[in-house]
Structure 1
Amino acid sequence: MRNTIVAGNWKMHKTLPETHSLLDELIEKLPTGKQTEIIVAPAFTNLSNAVAHLEGTNIQVAAQNMHQAEGGAFTGEISAQMLLSIGVNTVILGHSERRHYFQETDALLADKVNTALKHDMRVIFCIGEELKDRQNKQYLNVIFNQLTDGLFHLTKEQWKHIVIAYEPVWAIGTGETATPKQAQEIHAFIRQEIDRKYDKNLANSTSILYGGSVKPNNAKEIFSQPDVDGGLIGGAALSADDFSAIVNAI
């Protein structure tokens, strides 16, 4: 009923030769018979080469970000049309590092989502709380506000292009991981809120990924939770052995 997805966010890692080397390893080691969607998100400089390198495989390519404008005087930015012109039709938006380091707000992200959907792109939309939010027991409010401000202006029809990635900020790059119970709690809450805003069919058909220090030794337990539909993988996506083990954990 829902797509299972494992997406690797490479962040600011891998030169072009290193990208080709890792892609070769992934082609060799990743399973080809599974129903799971497999996505990699290299740096902008390597996207076009990655698309060409992966032609004919079951591995898709996503961008890590894009600008909300169609074009213009935005030095250093990349538009939706630029991504589409090189064969990239999926984009990650709202990653916690974009929110934190580049002060991307929910309002700005809503604009980016609108632009992506205008071009029929698929969006992996990231939400998640910081450690202080969890300690203050405000984490459900944070998640609700990010959903409401970033996505709940969309029509039901537009949601077919949306994948949600829950990433507890306190578990990204820290070695800490939400327990399977904690992950399930948030994923079930997200699904409940989609049901309340729209309906149960939409809630049950929306893929919700977990992102936050997923590794081969914890992936199976996390992915076994009923509302977890895969993962948005960071550090472990830079190792073909680790990433393939995580894909095989589903």
Structure 2
Amino acid sequence: MIRKQTLIIGANSVIAKAIAAKVPTDSEIGLIVISRDLNAYSEMCDANVKKITVPDYQSRSIERAVIEIKQCNQAPITQVFICNGVLHNAQLQPEKRLEDFSEQAFQQVMQINALIPMLWIQKLTPILTGKTPCTLTVFSARVASISDNHLGGWYSYRASKAALNMMLKTAAIELSRRAKNIKLIAFHPGTTDTPLSKPFQKNVPADKLFTSDFVAEQLLKIVENSDIDGEASYLDWQGKSISW
């Protein structure tokens, strides 16, 4: 019988898949993966791996997914990784100038990077609250730091991740009173070799372009060594604090 579980949301991202590969699913550890596309997990047939497919990340779909989690909640969830995020796609690119700023693009980036993670936290908190320590990590970015912004640009992405950070910090204050077992982490993975960073890798030094396996390993170490202290932490891939 399993003793604890890890939950990965947005499980089809490159880093999410690397995290999943490092979670030792055995007779005592369970894994729950959630995504719109779980084909990458088709060969994972372990009884301790629960796969939940969602049609989208709207509030109703998130609520239904949480109900499914509750139904298979054989053991406490001790680790949550929310890996959703967007920097660019076919319709949008990070802005270089004020002239590039778009209302539609801003709304899309803000929805994916800030609103969706908070909806997950809102719906998950009731089933995570308890006596068992639980670390909940959301993927943020160093460019969200207001005090560390020396280059400008990337208005929508910076704003969305800064908004996410503010909401995580605010939620941590509330959870310190009513869900003291939950630790929130805003995580900056560094420049990782993924489709998200691919168009921006040209000027990145070779030793600063990380593999997803390396980032996953670093993150799991950070989570394992994090204290449940009632505060939100804003950390990079080395486990070093970033200025909000």
Indicate whether the TM-score tops 0.5.
no
TM-score, structure 1 as length reference: 0.39
**Structure whose residues are more often helix by fraction:** 1
